[in-house]
Structure 1
Amino acid sequence: MRYKLVIFDWDGTLMDSEPRIVSAMHNAAVSCQLAPVSAQSVKSIIGMSLPQAVDTLYPSHSMLHAQLIDAYKHHYQSSTIATPLFDGAKTVMQSLKRRGYKIAIATGKGRPGLDRLLSETGLDQYVDLSRSSDETDSKPSPDMLNQLLNEANVCVSQAVMVGDTTIDLKMAQAINMDRIGVSFGVCRAQELLPYHPIVVIDELQQLLEYV
């Protein structure tokens, strides 16, 4: 085994949630009587904690940030836009567990949302440990990766980060952790390559060739 710990991002890596996130942020802005930002702008903050995302998108409206956060949560939770797992998510985790890997999640989601989704998707039976954005500094700070390494009792050379955004890869690069990009989420391969991933894969099943 090349690694002992495989760390996955959630949104855009395991779950196809980008359309729902973009829609919820648009509706939250309208609810707060703000002009919605572009879909591309919303995509650029996927992976950050919600407070940091709102601050990045609406830096001159700090008085409305708490209202925006509440509105976003409401619209995301009440949305009817489906958020399926990407093809291969469950089978890849099953294969990794059979091979003896520990599996972790490092996400911009909050703990309640992550726990709910892990249970609903059935991935909770494969995930050994996780960190959410309300427990650590927001990505791209490597704080959550360092915490996961400590909890798993592995060194950085024994772990790999799998993510779909420049934020994910920048986080891993900050502590010289190996990283693998995925091209089917928020960012395209050419956007990820400057962060020197081992590889950028086009489907999750390919991950098994590189770990």
Structure 2
Amino acid sequence: MTPYKLVIFDWDGTLMDSAGKIVSCMQHAAQATAMFVPTADAVRHIIGISLKPAIAQLFNLKLGNPVEEKQVDRIVEAYKTAYLEVDQTPCPLFDGTMGMLTALQACDTKMAVATGKARRGLKRAWDSTNTSHFFVDSRCADEAESKPSPDMLEQLLKANGLKASDAVMIGDTSYDMQMAEQLGMDRIAVSYGVHDVTALRKHSPVFVADSVSSLQGFLLRPF
């Protein structure tokens, strides 16, 4: 068993190795809309934020400005087209993820997801990996304020009748760490995702996992 009543995972970069596809699709969307093509590092930095504000930040466009927001919307649509119809980059689970989820479930650990994906995107990911049955709850980008707002976590806590001290947030970005930090919730950083470990450590995670196996070991340690 874990010391937590609810273990909350980010999805992209934490359970699924999807950064390569996200970078490729964002660069394709930039080309398709005649925008400058961002570097891989620039795209990796905005992974985790909900898609529309992420694109606005990446391309230095202002939401609320009618002209610039229309351009954001064009890039969003081009990105979705690339993701669903053009790019074939695989998005496997990280090594050990299925075993970790199985082990946690066997110990009656309740698990949830808080993700920058939209609900349709998370459902596709769950269907492709056959993992939906591991999770008792989830919140997506189209159901809450974008990270690093703690809204997703607040909704999950309320829905499950829990306090922040009852749960832990696990993620690979500073946005994941910030959202939990604002609530005083324990947070675990994974260093194998998209953000630099130095940036993650600034938010005082209780543990930094350099692999899924080390994450599993920490969660299932004696306490």
TM-score by length of 2: 0.91
Question: What is the CA-CA distance between 1:209 and the residue it aligns to?
Answer: 3.0
Matched, 1:106 2:107: no
Q: CA RMSD in A?
A: 1.1
Question: What is the CA-CA distance between 1:188 and the residue it aligns to?
Answer: 2.8
> Any gaps of 5 or more consecutive residues in structure 2?
62-67
The one-letter amino acid of 1:124's match is S
Matched, 1:129 2:130: no
Secondary structure of residue in 1 paired with 2:46 = coil
Identity %: 42
Superposed CA deviations along residues 111-164 of structure 1, whole A, max 9, x for unmatched, are 001011112201111111100000000000000000011112221111001100
- For the residues of structure 2 that align with 1:46 and 1:13, how far apart are their CA atoms? 11
> Any gaps of 5 or more consecutive residues in structure 1?
none
Paired position in structure 1 for 2:32: 31
Paired position in structure 2 for 1:15: 16
- For the residues of structure 1 that align with 2:214 and 2:70, how far apart are their CA atoms? 45
Secondary structure of residue in 2 paired with 1:161 = strand
- For the residues of structure 1 that align with 2:162 and 2:108, how far apart are their CA atoms? 14
- For the residues of structure 1 that align with 2:196 and 2:96, how far apart are their CA atoms? 19
5 Å-filtered alignment, 1:1-211, equals 1-60=2-61, 61-78=68-85, 79-211=87-219
Secondary structure of residue in 2 paired with 1:44 = helix
- For the residues of structure 2 that align with 1:118 and 1:85, how far apart are their CA atoms? 10
Matched length:
211
- For the residues of structure 1 that align with 2:55 and 2:9, how far apart are their CA atoms? 23
Question: What is the CA-CA distance between 1:191 and the residue it aligns to?
Answer: 2.1
Superposed CA deviations along residues 153-210 of structure 1, whole A, max 9, x for unmatched, are 2211110011001111111111111000111110232221111001111111222333
Secondary structure of residue in 2 paired with 1:48 = coil
- For the residues of structure 2 that align with 1:138 and 1:59, how far apart are their CA atoms? 17
Question: What is the CA-CA distance between 1:59 and the residue it aligns to?
Answer: 3.0
- For the residues of structure 1 that align with 2:52 and 2:128, how far apart are their CA atoms? 25
Secondary structure of residue in 1 paired with 2:215 = helix
- For the residues of structure 2 that align with 1:204 and 1:36, how far apart are their CA atoms? 32
TM-score by length of 1: 0.96
The one-letter amino acid of 1:74's match is T
